[in-house]
Chain A
Amino acid sequence: MMTPTAARAQIGPDAAMMDVLCPMHAVLNASGDLVHAGPTLVKICGGTSLIGTRFSELFDIKRPQTDGSVRMLIATAGAKLHLRTRGAPRTDLKGVAVPLSPGMPPEGGVLINLSFGISVVDAVRDFALTSSDFAATDLAIEMLYLVEAKTAAMDASHKLNMRLQGAMIAAEEKAYTDTLTGLRNRRAMNYVLEQLTSAEQDFALIHLDLDYFKAVNDRMGHAAGDHVLREVARIMVEETRSDDTVARVGGDEFVIVLKRLTDPQIVHDIAERLIARLSEPIPFADKYCSITASAGSVLSCAHAHADATRLMLEADTALYAAKDAGRGRHISYTQDLNRHATGNGEVGGPVSSNCPGPLAPRDPGRRDGGTE
């Protein structure tokens, strides 16, 4: 069995052997000058012979703190050293020092082996290293492989994530959009109403129904009907703000949610302006399609705790009051309307003081020609 001393003696300063096993090692004499450097160490220090150069002129030992003397290097024997090259490009290195055995030249010298550690990726590029610059047992090549493989795999995963996110947004958009008009659909409207009522934000809700639309469909065909719906949608979007919600909730039924509105007069003005524009004949092919619209509205501020279902029901009551009153008009919801509604029962609750009664004058005369 070999004694530890004998084993160390075999490693010794056999330069050729050490160059194969540790191509980044250096042997220093007692005064800290290099007496030998491995081939890769020579390469990263500029390629010229390093013999006679002081180790501390080439490398800065960052940790543990030393004065760079061989005596202190020997004191760190076996511990991990953190170093940095003094020449450009600055490269962080890891190292370990071991004192040479007594009797092994240079007397009182030290052997230091260095490695790139995590900076290997940059170092390989900066110094144009090849696999022959590393010991055959070094894991550097495997590490470089892993870095590239993981980067490629991450890129692929990232692309997939981006595509999935895009698909998700498109699917959500589709789920909330009425395909014919591009308006929101009933599902989107329910969502918006839930959001607003749960956040206790004020809003006005207008339920609008087209008059004489069935006649357009019947007399001029579905293409004309579809055209009218798209034009109606365009007008409603024009007459509302970008953060309002315009939804098509049925064949010719629409709901408009106007955020932050608490003044019934403003809601009435908006509804009347909308109805006036919708009553203008809509050109299609070489003909005109004539429709009007009836609307009922309700304010969320009319209730201490606005409930989406109840607000929809009240807007609906007001809408049917408008239809009963002769169409082509808007009526704001009041409790009084329930007495005239048939089979609706008592729906209304307390109405706040800033929500007065119907603003549209009731017209008992029915407009002729309605085929709703």
Chain B
Amino acid sequence: MHGLMNRSIERFVRDTYGRDVWGAVMRRAGLDYVEFEAMLTYDDHVTRDVLHALGAVLARTEQDILEDIGTFLVSHPNLEALRRLLRFGGPTFTEFLHSLDDLPARARLAVSDLILPEIELRDHGGGRFCVWCRGPVAGFGHVLVGLLRALADDYGALAWLEHKGRQNDSEIVEIQLLTVEHASGRRFDLGLGAL
């Protein structure tokens, strides 16, 4: 698993629950270090072990935690750079949804060895969408639920989201847009990141 994924989990736990909780999680996962390097690659089992340990330490389901991580990635000020990169997907939430298919390619452009699950958006009309998400590691769909919910908020769109479980090797996330975009979202200036 790419270090960026593990680093995201680490940042989420540190910024939300503090370093002591994070230390406890890493010890419980049987790891003798406390920091992930964003630009290194780790064995897949490391991520699984950390998520198991995190569930046990926080006494919460992994699905809930993954969803919170997705929300954290978009809404925490420390990860403003990532929010900005996502917002390049389109000027409105609907356009962003239509850019989701490109998300793995966009991620690869930035970091060539960052492999995201395949994502396919299906538009069912009337503001109803389904995101099919196919990858080797289950659980990414839950991250996507949290991430899309926070992004809808960021764009100022009102949306209802639900994880619909797995079908074959895909996770399905259903999105119902309740209102079209209004103006109360957060600002996004194209030129701000280059300062």
Tell whether A pairs with B.
Answer: yes
Name A residues whose Cβ lies closer than 8 Å to a Cβ of B: 121-122, 124-126, 128-132, 141-142, 144-153, 156-157, 159-160, 163
Nearest CB in chain A to that of B4: its residue: A156
* Bound-complex Cα distance A130 to B90 (A): 11
Which residues on B sit within 8 Å (CB–CB) of A130?
91, 190
Q: List 19 A-B contacts (CB under 8 A).
A: A124-B191, A125-B192, A126-B191, A130-B190, A131-B190, A132-B91, A144-B194, A146-B110, A147-B193, A147-B194, A148-B81, A148-B85, A149-B85, A151-B193, A152-B85, A156-B38, A157-B39, A159-B38, A163-B37
Contact A153 B91 (CB under 8 A): no
Interface size on B, residues (CB 8 A): 23
Query: Judging by beta carbons under 8 Å apart, are A148 and B88 in contact?
Result: yes
Contacts of A157 in B (CB 8 A): 39
A131 to B192, CA, bound (A): 13
Contact in complex: B110, A128 (CB < 8 Å): no
- The chain A residue sitting closest to B90, CB to CB, is A131
List chain A residues, Cβ under 8 A from B40: 160
Residues of A within 8 A of B37 (CB): 160, 163
B28 close to A (CB within 8 Å)? no
B39 close to A148 (CB less than 8 A): no
The verdict on A144 contacting B190 (CB below 8 Å), with A152-B85, A160-B40 known, is: yes
Q: Which residues of chain A have C-beta atoms less than 8 A from B20's C-beta?
A: none
Complex Cα spacing A147 to B84, Å: 12
| Residue of A whose beta carbon sits closest to that of B87 | A145
Q: Which residue among B81, B191, B195 has the maximum number of chain A CB atoms within 10 Å of its CB?
A: B191
Within 8 A of A (CB), among B70-117: 81-82, 84-85, 88, 90-91, 106, 109-111
In the bound complex, do residue A125 and residue B39 qualify as a contact, i.e. CB atoms below 8 Å apart?
A: no
Q: Is the beta-carbon distance between B191 and A152 smaller than 8 angstroms? A: no
Please report the C-alpha to C-alpha distance between residue A121 and residue B190 in the assembled complex, in whole angstroms.
Answer: 9
Q: Which residue of A lies closest to B106 (CB)?
A: A145
A124 touches B194 (CB 8 A): yes
Q: Are B110 and A152 in contact (CB under 8 A)?
A: yes
| Complex interface: chain A residues within 8 A of B4 (CB) | 156
The chain B residue with its CB closest to the CB of A141 is B88
List the A side residues contacting B195 at CB < 8 Å. 125
Q: A153 touches which one: B111, B189, B193, B194 (CB < 8 A)?
A: B111
Residues on B with beta carbons closer than 8 Å to the beta carbon of A160? 37-40
Indicate if the CB atoms of B190 and A129 lie closer than 8 Å: yes
Query: Given A131-B190, A151-B193 in contact, is the A146-B91 Cβ separation under 8 Å?
Result: no
Q: Are A148 and B91 in contact (CB under 8 A)?
A: no
- Taking a contact as CB atoms under 8 Å apart, the answer to whether B88 and A144 are in contact is yes
A145 to B191 alpha-carbon distance, docked (Å): 10
